[in-house]
Chains A and B, each alone.
Chain A
């Protein structure tokens, strides 16, 4: 096909011919089956280009969506301001929720309450199936449904009893649902591993868990193992009493 013919057919398809030209072209097509076929073929090519371009666009969008949800290996305390903003809003919710109001609070529990905010959780990734349950539970966790999250995470321990991330979040979730003793046993599994990037966070929450239970010696010990600024802050508050 010559370039001229090609461009004319294209104009016909895109509706860029004048009315007169359009009807003349249609008439010509009626008696010219090879022209009919050329038009049909060109339509198909254009359709294919559009659909494949859309596919490429969707893949790009998918990648971006996934990237924004992928876990990155940055220590938690180095993460952006947003985490703390979210954490702060959780504090507010907690205070409003008056989780500990029904109890007579001693100073340690007050201190605990003023410091405890559950870890904001991990971004939920959609990259692998095997981790799906973990991240599904993470969604519950982030929504504050700690008991549901615990129920979903518990079975995963069977395969990965020493997984630091799993034990860490189970610990924090238990602490958030007022099960101090369970929280301590899970968090100690995480602090028992030396390589975890949750180590400092785990020690921090462990310290808070002990503080809540009134075991100040263990609390101080745990907090001193954590290099989070807020751990030092809690430590100094305990010591100042």
Chain B
């Protein structure tokens, strides 16, 4: 097992970015513990609620994850990732406040120019991709637990099919077959015009 205190493990000297790309839960827990309180207190001080703090923090962490995977964040030092995460969260909250405050009013250019959007997650792909991704994300939530768990193991935890077959007590061929059927199911859900809820 790894060192029980993730704040002091070799992530600091080791490759934190590699760990993020590998979806290493320890590194996410470390980022969480190190930055959540700070982000939450910023949001609470700026008219937010604790639930909003949680949402914004998680969205920011997901944005960091996207950007690291797309090699948009290249760190000079491993600790820079914390500042990066905080900045994204702060910007997200600022954007949210602006969208509330200036909703249905004329957006002043002065107000908008000092927002730096570069740090906020943007895909190089089109808006269409984003929209389709949103639908697929909702569809995944409605997938059965067994399928969710199998797909998560393969695509997120990046385990081999052989290992997954073992974990689920299936022979490799039926595990592969099951994965295919789960993906078909997901595809169908995506193409269902109206998802429940």
Q: Which A residues are within 8 Å of any B CB, using their own CB?
A: 1, 3, 6-7, 40-42, 44-59, 61-62, 64-65, 126-129, 132, 136
- Interface SS of chain B: helix
Q: Is the CB of A45 within 8 A of B36?
A: no
Instruction: State whether the Cβ of B184 lies closer than 8 Å to any Cβ in chain A.
Output: yes
A6 to chain B, nearest CB (A): 6
Q: Is the CB of B50 within 8 A of A47?
A: no
A227 to chain B, nearest CB (A): 35
User: Cβ of A46: which chain B residues have Cβ within 8 Å of it?
Assistant: 155
A3 to chain B, nearest CB (A): 5
B27-64 vs A, CB cutoff 8 Å, 1 = contact: the mask equals 01100110011001100100001100010001001100
Q: Is the CB of A7 within 8 A of B152?
A: no
- Interface SS of chain A: helix
Q: Which residue of A lies closest to B40 (CB)?
A: A126
Which residue from B37, B54, B133 sits with its C-beta under 8 Å from A48?
A: B133
* Known contacts A44-B132, A48-B139; A62/B32 CB under 8 A: yes
Give Cα A136 to B44, complex, Å. Answer: 11
Instruction: State whether the Cβ of B72 lies closer than 8 Å to any Cβ in chain A.
Output: no
Binds A, one of B77-85, B87-95, B175-183: B175-183
Q: Is the CB of A55 within 8 A of B62?
A: yes
Which residue from B50, B139, B176 sits with its C-beta under 8 Å from A128?
A: B50
Q: Is the CB of A3 within 8 A of B33?
A: no
User: Cβ of A56: which chain B residues have Cβ within 8 Å of it?
Assistant: 152
User: Cβ of B156: which chain A residues have Cβ within 8 Å of it?
Assistant: 49-50, 53-54
Give Cα A136 to B36, complex, Å. Answer: 14
Q: Is the CB of B184 within 8 A of A1?
A: yes
User: Cβ of A42: which chain B residues have Cβ within 8 Å of it?
Assistant: 183
Instruction: State whether the Cβ of B17 lies closer than 8 Å to any Cβ in chain A.
Output: no
Q: Is the CB of B180 within 8 A of A3?
A: yes
For A49, A53, A57, A126, which residue has the most chain B Cβ atoms within 10 angstroms? Answer: A49
Instruction: State whether the Cβ of B186 lies closer than 8 Å to any Cβ in chain A.
Output: yes
Q: Is the CB of B155 within 8 A of A53?
A: yes
Q: Is the CB of B28 within 8 A of A57?
A: yes
Give Cα A48 to B135, complex, Å. Answer: 9
Interface extent on B, as a size class? 35 or more
User: Cβ of B152: which chain A residues have Cβ within 8 Å of it?
Assistant: 49, 53, 56
Which residue from A44, A51, A132 sits with its C-beta under 8 Å from B62?
A: A51
Q: Is the CB of B187 within 8 A of A61?
A: no
The 8 closest A-B CB pairs, nearest first, are A48-B136, A53-B156, A53-B152, A3-B180, A48-B137, A49-B155, A52-B140, A61-B32
Give Cα A49 to B32, complex, Å. Answer: 21
Q: Is the CB of B50 within 8 A of A65?
A: no
Q: Which residue of A lies closest to B61 (CB)?
A: A58
Instruction: State whether the Cβ of B164 lies closer than 8 Å to any Cβ in chain A.
Output: no
User: Cβ of A3: which chain B residues have Cβ within 8 Å of it?
Assistant: 176-177, 180
A52 to chain B, nearest CB (A): 5
Instruction: State whether the Cβ of B190 lies closer than 8 Å to any Cβ in chain A.
Output: yes
B5 to chain A, nearest CB (A): 13
User: Cβ of B29: which chain A residues have Cβ within 8 Å of it?
Assistant: 61, 64
* Known contacts A45-B187, A57-B25; A50/B155 CB under 8 A: yes
Instruction: State whether the Cβ of B106 lies closer than 8 Å to any Cβ in chain A.
Output: no
Q: Known pairs A55-B62, A57-B25. 4 more at Cβ < 8 A? A: A44-B132, A45-B187, A53-B23, A132-B44
Which residue from A6, A41, A49, A64 sits with its C-beta under 8 Å from B180?
A: A6
* Known contacts A49-B151, A54-B23; A65/B33 CB under 8 A: yes
Give Cα A45 to B148, complex, Å. Answer: 12
Instruction: State whether the Cβ of B1 lies closer than 8 Å to any Cβ in chain A.
Output: no
User: Cβ of A48: which chain B residues have Cβ within 8 Å of it?
Assistant: 133, 136-137, 139-140, 186
Q: Which residue of A lies closest to B156 (CB)?
A: A53
User: Cβ of B132: which chain A residues have Cβ within 8 Å of it?
Assistant: 41, 44
Instruction: State whether the Cβ of B141 lies closer than 8 Å to any Cβ in chain A.
Output: yes
